[in-house]
Amino acid sequence: MNNYFKKFKNIVDNNLLKIGVFNSFSLFIKFIAGLISSKALAYFIGPAGLAVCGVFREFFFMTVNVSSLGLQKGIINYSAKFKNEKKNRQALVDTLIIIGTVISLVMAIILFSFSKAINGALFPNYDFVFVIKILALGIPLSVFTGFYISFINGLGYTSSIVKINASVSIFNAICIIIFTYYFGVAGALLGIVFFFITQSIAILVFKPRATLFQLLRIPKFSIEVFKKLSGYALMTIISLCLFPFISILIRTEIIDYLGEDAAGYWEAMKRISDNYLFFASSLVVLSVLPELSSGKKSLKSAVLSFYGSIIPVFILGLFILFFLRKYIVLAFYSEEFMTTTILFKWHEIGDLFRVLGLVIAANFFATRDIKGYIITDMFLAAVLYVSSMFFIERIGLEGGAFAYFLTYFLYFLLLLGYFRKKLFTKRVTTFLKI
């Protein structure tokens, strides 16, 4: 009896589950906000307009990632390590201020100057030059809000991040709905751009009370900190740019081969998927990565903890989602989007393997394994692109979902092989037998 009580107490005391329960609040808010905004987009602009939004969303995040040099996970790692080292923590902040200022201004100038060329490449049938220029003006703000979120993440301010994410979901949904109502597709794109403005407001409201560093001072650039961060820049900047680019190519292939409406169904599935993936991915960033970075847990224990506590809930959610897929599509969109239901099976299975791999891949950032990360990510990108082109042309839209599953299944197997020495020990084998 005591043994059962101890096991129950261990489950309740599990920090990952505590964060998961608290993070569920943010997930619920994000889900409701996504539901309302998706419904509005479906009503106001239809599948074709949603496809255009999908292309712009990928370009938006690709631009923001380039502007921040993909340093977010590196910031989480070192802010966790420097949590109790005031001098190093301040050096990290100073260096980030200088890096962020220089890179974001350069990126903003490039975007603004080449807005017409970018519009022609992304939207040959539309004129959204003014939207791209507004995005350029907001780049510096997006970089510093991203840096700040990553910094307090590493320091363990989970509750603040959850509150920020929840409020951003609400305010951004409101912006998208209002702008889309008045300006159509262009308004929807403006709503996407306003994401970092709503994030800035949320940070001002829900930022941690503790004074973690001094801002009213001339920042000092640290070569040592820059060298540490540069490895993460190399690790992430390639993939954070490559995958949105590949996603744009896949949408272009769908538009060319199956039409704009088909691309809209693809974007609809992706938006639904993003809502539940947010739950698992945010848990990895909020809990698993800081614990691995600070050395509180080994990769083996972190993976087993996540698989044992979160994955069963995630799988149950996927089953429920699959059986209710018709109602989900109607709730999020309209009867016009019912074709989206054919994508659920393979896309959901792909998402399961994506999350399984996401936990393991967190170790790349925790240990700063640049070579391993680049090799595995290049494999992931190559398989995703080639398989998507192959199956879309031969099977159609459902072939894209099958390619998505196949890609993340093979990626998961690759990660198991790469980290086999850390994952498959006698202790793990014993656990699995039990």
Kindly report, residue by residue over 224-272, the tens digit of the pLDDT.
Answer: 888 877 777 777 777 777 888 898 889 888 988 888 889 899 989 998 8
**Mean of pLDDT over the chain:** 82
pLDDT tens track for 266-309 = 989 998 898 788 777 777 766 777 677 666 677 788 888 888 88
Tell me how many domains the chain contains.
1
Report yes or no on 334 lying in a domain.
yes
Taking the C-alpha atoms of residue 331 and residue 99, their distance in angstroms, rounded to an integer, is 43
Q: Indicate whether 328 pLDDT > 70.
A: yes
Report yes or no on 177 lying in a domain.
yes
What's the mean pLDDT in 400-404? 95
Share of the chain above pLDDT 70, in %: 87
What's the mean pLDDT in 332-342? 90
Exposed, middle or buried, 152 (CB in 10 Å: 0-12/13-18/19+)?
buried
The torsion angle over the Cα atoms of residues 83, 88, 91 and 96, rounded to 10 degrees, is -40
Pick the closest to residue 262 from 113, 8, 50 (CA basis): 50
Write out the residue range of the structural domain in which residue 217 sits.
Answer: 14-433
Q: What is the pLDDT of residue 23?
A: 58
pLDDT tens track for 27-50 = 778 778 888 888 888 889 888 888
What's the mean pLDDT in 420-434? 57
Token readout for 340 is 């989206």
pLDDT tens track for 345-359 = 999 999 999 999 988
Separation of CA 73 from chain center: 12
The torsion angle over the Cα atoms of residues 407, 153, 170 and 283, rounded to 10 degrees, is 40
Q: What is the pLDDT of residue 400?
A: 94
Report yes or no on 4 lying in a domain.
no
Report yes or no on 9 lying in a domain.
no
Cα 188-190-192 angle, rounded to 5 deg: 75
